[in-house]
Chain A
Amino acid sequence: MLVFIIRRLTQSAIVVAVMSVLVFAGIFAIGDPIDVLISPEADEAERAAAIARLGLDRPMHEQFLAFAQEAAKGDLGRSFVHGVPALDIVLQRFPATLELALAAMLIAVLLGIPLGVWAGLRPDGIAGRTIMTGSILGFSLPTFWVGMLLIMIFAVTLGWLPAGGRGATREILGVPFSFLTADGLAHLVLPAINLALFKISLVIRLARAGTREVALQDYVKFARAKGLSARRVVGVHILKNIMIPVVTVLGLELGSVIAFSVVTETVFAWPGMGKLLIDSILQLDRPVVVAYLMVTVLLFVVINLVVDLLYSLLDPRIRLGGSRS
């Protein structure tokens, strides 16, 4: 176990290092920050002075080392637009995104598993086929388009739910959350459903495939033969055994939900990290873009690591030592 953890940690550290080099090199190679940072009226001498002051005259690897040193201390530069440390802005927006992502995951599990198991038990029935067609739609429909449709129907036409924003929030430990107030919850519903749609389809597929496979196993037949009720067979014997792939995939998908919230947040004007990223790209606010990328990369690496460890705990059949090489 210890060897496994150490190996995974090293691997994760390498990924973070490689990604920071890539992001840095990309930004270094494309575009010149001088044009953004220095006013066009500045003369040659002022320009040269500013370049020297910012360290932009040094060779690339020296600049990178300086960047990495500051980054390790948690300083990713100041936002061009807001004038405050970029990392602070990104972290300040993080709770909103996390709240949205977790709400979406919850919806995906609560809807996806029952529907998937149902479809798996009767794969050729009308309900089963309808669920599967629905899941194809869920995979096919672009998130932003569904989001627009939801706003059109529920906010504009019916007027039941608000079209955007976060609504009233209440603070826990100084961090504002929407789901604690009725108004905030109303604001959360549409974006969460929108973000969940793709994951619901995914969970349905996983649960259906798992159920179909497990339902044919001997222990399920035996449980039936023992005369256990259908509810117990499905609820205990089948459900337990399809949970491993579902949990793994959902864990891995948490990162992708956070990434995809870029789209949902833009459509619903949800003030999270994703909307910040798009705004910063459009405003050429590079430090914020870099800070977002570094935070997201770190998040991904951590999520992958945790899921890997959890997976090995959940399924004792996974050999930790040699299986990954």
Chain B
Amino acid sequence: MTATVGATGQGARARAETPMARFAAEFARSRTAMLGLLLMVLVVGSALLAPLIAPQDPYDLAQLDILDGMLAPLAEGGSGATHWLGTDDQGRDMLSGILYGLRTSLLVGVSSTVFGLALGLLVGLSAAYFGGWVDTVIMRIVDIQLSFPAILVALILLALLGKGIDKVIIALTTVQWAYYARTVRGTALVERRKEYIEAATCLALSHGRIVRRHLLPNCLPPLIVVATVQVAHAIALEATLSFLGVGVPVTQPSLGMLIASGYQYMLSGEYWISVFPGIALLVTIVAINLVGDRMRDVLNPRLSR
């Protein structure tokens, strides 16, 4: 629909460009997606630069002053510094807390997605390439795992493993790999029948080479979309688990942990301890979803072209 309108306007120029440039041009046509991208860059940037831009190191107990506890937003602390977003019960500057919390949340979200992606790729490609009983066994396991909701699997694992950032990453990786395995297998099955694979097989290339150099690159686009959206899911899931008290430890709070620790004060009026980390979490998730949504629309030939 919109594509036909766009194609007449930009078609001549876009067709001469590389697929990447065409993708970028089409992506940029949605203003909401560009807003999402901007927010995403902002969020990731401030998380990466947190030690440089945060007014205070929230892990350094020497910098905390209990007398500064529970200050409202914009209040001035004992040391003369303004706490833009207020402080929590231990006198920790909320803005700094959020910037560092964002680091933890993104670390967990991105690394579990990357691990899950790697595992899912390996398993999904093997299933599609070898077929037969390998495929049947793998896909049955994937089916069974996907019939249980992510939160349940994660809860079971964390109930067994205990708290910790590494354990949350293990749990979220376990939750995610099956999605990728299924997506990869679906795409790879279609690609495998194509002639370039047949040609590569005729050249007597090794299994590994065909899978890595020929099959894998052609399976990536749908996977990138799934992975983008999955990062947002992983971040939300981590926040939920931490909120429930089975996620990251108190010493290295993520956004979910910050929200949970502010929850008890929320009902008595100290809203900022919970609300601001909540908004940060929201902006992060919505931004990633907006970008992912647009990427899916652009990459899906059934919808756009």
Contacts and interface: CB of A to CB of B under 8 A. Distances in A.
Interface of A: 15, 18, 23, 26-27, 30, 123-124, 133, 136-137, 139-145, 148-149, 151-152, 156, 163, 252, 255-256, 259-260, 262-263, 266, 277-278, 281-282, 289, 293, 296-297, 300, 304
A148 B263 contact: yes
A143 B149 contact: no
Contacts of B1: 123-124
A147 B158 CA distance: 23
A156 B160 contact: no
Contact of B144 (A15, A282, A293): A15
A110 B293 CA distance: 26
B159 interface: yes
Contacts of A133: 32
Nearest to B136: A325
Contact of B232 (A140, A148, A255): A140
B155 A262 contact: yes
A259 to B, nearest CB: 4
Contacts of A156: 266-267
B121 interface: no
Given A148-B263, A266-B244, A142 B281 contact: yes
Contact of A136 (B246, B271, B289): B289
A51 B161 CA distance: 23
Q: Tell me the dominant secondary structure on chain B's binding face.
A: helix
Nearest to B274: A148
A278 B151 CA distance: 12
Interface centre among A18, A30, A148, A260 (most CB of B within 10 A): A148
10 contacts: A26-B160, A133-B32, A136-B290, A136-B293, A137-B286, A141-B285, A144-B243, A259-B152, A263-B151, A289-B159
Nearest to B161: A30
A281 B159 contact: yes
B69 interface: no
B259 interface: yes
A256 B293 contact: no
A123 B2 CA distance: 11
Interface string B17-60: 00000000000000010000000000000000000000000000
B160 A278 contact: no
Nearest to B260: A144
B239 interface: yes
B156 interface: yes
Contacts of A304: 147
Nearest to A281: B159
Contacts of A151: 267
Nearest to A296: B152
Contacts of B162: 30
Contacts of B267: 151, 156, 163
Nearest to A30: B160
A263 B240 contact: yes
Contacts of A277: 155
Interface string B219-257: 000000000000010001001100111100000000010
A289 B1 CA distance: 51
Given A26-B160, A282-B246, 15 more contacts: A30-B160, A30-B161, A136-B289, A140-B236, A140-B285, A144-B240, A145-B259, A148-B266, A152-B271, A156-B266, A163-B267, A277-B155, A278-B245, A281-B246, A300-B148
B278 interface: yes
A140 B282 contact: yes
A252 B148 CA distance: 10
B240 A142 contact: yes
B278 A148 contact: yes
Contacts of B290: 136
Given A140-B232, A140-B285, A304-B147, A152 B266 contact: yes
Select the residue from B156, B267, B286 with max chain A CB neighbours within 10 A: B156
A141 B240 contact: no
Nearest to B293: A136
A266 B151 CA distance: 14
A141 B289 CA distance: 11
Nearest to A23: B156
Contacts of A137: 286
B271 A140 contact: no
Contacts of B160: 26-27, 30
B281 A145 contact: yes
Contacts of A289: 159
B264 to A, nearest CB: 11
Nearest to B160: A26
Contacts of A297: 148
B60 to A, nearest CB: 28
The 6 closest A-B pairs by CB, nearest first: A256-B149, A259-B152, A259-B149, A26-B160, A142-B236, A281-B159
